[in-house]
Amino acid sequence: MGTMSIYTALIDDAGLFPPTSLHMDEALARNRRDLESGSPVLTHRFLCPASRLDRLRTMAFRPRRIGLIVDTDELPAFDDLPVDIVEVRAPADTPVGVVAARLSLPQGVRLFVEVPPRKVAFDPPAGVGLKVRCGGTSPEDFPPVDHLAAFIRSCVEHGIPFKATAGLHHAVRHFDPSLGVDRHGFLNLLVAVCETVEGRDPGPALRTTDVGHLVRLARSVTEDTAKRARELLVSYGSCSTGTPVEDLRALGLVEVNA
């Protein structure tokens, strides 16, 4: 089965976002059910756009923790909410350091700046992480393997923590006929980070569709490598919190009750 620590607190709750696009009450109800079920694979971090914070405040249930996705011109106040991560997209050609300098965050709140995966010359200040988009609702949203591999190599080489978002619907890379693209697998991404930590090329792990081979690689990850890899790959946002866990169970990588 391998080390469980590689999958612990891996998946953020992005139920408000496409393609699931749950209403606020539906998304919070699911988050509450997930919290009660206690799967260790889930972070139970509720990802919420800044533009919908006021709606969140009107709801009776409060998530254990919140990831704030900045989609507004100004960063709203959130002192009354359990926000532990803020994510913002860097405007084109704007250095990460400039984006970070514009935001004043409370102590203990981590900032992640989204950059194109093809951009490998990173300059984040100490304590600032990056965010990479692995897919979306159109074919052009899916980065080529080479771009994603370059992003991973740069983060590993420079010790930059990062989050991933969008498109990682299943564990293993597969073809999506509705979009005509190969979707990246979240297990591919996770194993690719482990491969890079151990000094190998992340490309083959990202590219493979061989389920058995990928599972063998995942099971061979040592506790030390898992720890180092997860210090870098902090988590990824998934619009489904059930499917990724079910995939890991079906592959025999986590216990049935995980």
Closest CA to 70 of 90, 55, 93: 90
Q: How far apart are CA 124 and CA 73, in angstroms?
A: 21
- Residue 19 in this model has a pLDDT that exceeds 70: yes
The DSSP letter of residue 124 is P
Which of the four CATH numbers 3.40.50, 1.10.287, 1.10.3470, 3.20.20 does domain 4-248 have? 3.20.20
More confident residue, 1 or 225: 225
- Residue 35 in this model has a pLDDT that exceeds 80: yes
* Helix ranges (DSSP H) in 38-172: 53-57, 96-101, 145-158
Q: How far apart are CA 186 and CA 128, in angstroms?
A: 23
* pLDDT band for position 119 (cuts 50, 70, 90): low
Average pLDDT of the residues in 216-237:
98
Q: How far apart are CA 1 and CA 10, in angstroms?
A: 17
Give the per-residue pLDDT at 1.
Answer: 58
* Average pLDDT over all residues of the chain: 94
Average pLDDT of the residues in 36-41:
95
Other Cβ atoms within 10 Å of 133 Cβ, number:
19
Give the per-residue pLDDT at 256.
Answer: 72
pTM: 0.95
- pLDDT tens digits, 151-185: 999 999 999 999 999 989 999 999 999 999 999 99
Give exposure, 34-54, as e/b (b: 16+ Cβ within 10 Å): bbeeebbbbbbbbbbbbeebe
Closest CA to 145 of 136, 153, 157: 153
What are the structural domain ranges in the chain?
4-248
